[in-house]
Amino acid sequence: MSFQETLEQLKEFDVNNIDFDKAGVWPWPAKVFVCLLLACLIFAGTYYLKISDLHMQLDSVVAQEATLKTTFERRSFEAANLDAYKAQMEEMKVTFDSLLSRLPAKTEVPGLLEDVGTRAGESGLTNININFKPDVVAEYYIEVPIDISVDGGYHDMGGFVSGVAGMPRIVTLHDFSISSSKESKTLNMKIVAKTYRYKSQEATK
């Protein structure tokens, strides 16, 4: 078949009225064109699906990389500061143990009462009355309030307060009032001293 005949067949072939049932009688150039077109469509579809899948895989890998990078940076920071963290925890433990050692045990509280009375007498105070009030239970400790009433001068009272504040055990002073003593020409001071006991496991039960 000559090139001229081929062109004539292509001119007679109407692409708008393609009948695939009569594909056998199509001119061979039309058959080649349609085959190439189908091949291109199949290739393009396959390429698109493959590229889409690769893009999804790439997005997943990028997301995993970002997560791993964040995790790595966090763990690197934790590892770099691990020694400092351990040192801080050890320092806190030492501080806690030191404070705990200054809290009287239950059996030491009566002795603490005697120490407060001794401080009052050494400061020159008279009419010393010291009595326990009911314990106040908090979450981690037990507060032991002590009512104190003494007579004396301002300087004597100042020495007493200073002496109590300097005791080895933790004792805090609250709600003080000073008035003229009814029994003498001195002053009367009423004050609440508070010491604390660590709530042991036995007390928690």
Specify the higher pLDDT residue, 158 or 49: 158
Count CA within 13 A, CB hemisphere, residue 136.
8
The DSSP output letter for 27 is: -
Tell me how far apart the alpha carbons of residues 139 and 196 are, in angstroms, rounded to a whole number: 12
Residue 77 vs residues 6, 72, 87, 128: alpha-carbon distances, Å: 77, 8, 16, 60
pLDDT for 34 equals 65
What tens digit of pLDDT does each residue of 40-60 get? 777 666 666 666 666 677 677
Closest CA to 140 of 191, 111, 99: 99
- Amino acid 32: pLDDT: 66
What is the per-residue pLDDT for 27?
60
Per-residue pLDDT at 145: 92
Question: What is the predicted pLDDT for the residue at 184?
Answer: 67
Q: Each residue of 107-140: pLDDT tens digit?
A: 677 788 888 899 999 999 999 999 989 988 887 7
CA-wise closest residue to 197 among 174, 169, 173, 165:
169
pLDDT band of 204, cuts 50, 70, 90: very low
Q: Which of 90, 129, 124 is nearest to 113 (CA)?
A: 129
pTM of the model: 0.50
Chain segment 159-199, per-residue pLDDT in tens: 999 988 888 777 888 888 988 866 667 889 999 998 887 77
State residue 88's pLDDT score.
Answer: 80
Tell me, what's the pLDDT at 13?
52
What is the C-alpha to C-alpha distance for residues 159 and 152, in angstroms, rounded to an integer?
11
Instruction: Decide: 142 and 136 in contact? Cβ < 8 Å.
Output: yes
Greater confidence (81 vs 31) lies with: 81
- pLDDT for 75 equals 78
Place of tokens 């143990």: 97
CA dihedral 33, 34, 36, 40 (to 10 degrees): 130
91/203: higher pLDDT: 91
Least confident of 91-105, 147-161, 167-181: 91-105
pLDDT for 143 equals 87
